[in-house]
Amino acid sequence: MRPTQGKTLAVMQVSGGSQSFNAVNQMRVLGRWMRTLTIPNQSSIPKAFQEFDEAGRMRPSPLYDRIVDVMEELVKFTLLTRDRKAYLVDRYSERKETAAALMKRVNLSAAT
């Protein structure tokens, strides 16, 4: 089992130029490879250097609202799936025994 398996994942990006969803789409693919539960919502912040004030806080804007929406959804999905993690990460391919392991276990228990 991978350490990330069954965890919830939110995908967001900031960029210095125009908005591009290629990066967030690739991060979603990586999330699937890591067997995370990637939430449907995502966010991309174009020209991020314009979105922050002198104190380093993001200015109120529709982009800020979108980040809050994504984080709320992350919390909701985490709460919905947290108690079902064992069920969601249970995979046949990871729990089946190999023929050699089965024979070893059966032969050991028969010998004792």
pTM surpassing 0.85? no
Pick from 9, 54, 12: nearest CA to 32: 9
Q: In order along the chain (112 residues), what is the average pLDDT of each group of 10 residues?
A: 86 81 86 91 90 94 95 95 85 75 72 52
CATH number attached to the domain at 8-111: 3.40.50.360
d(C-alpha 38, C-alpha 27), whole Å: 10
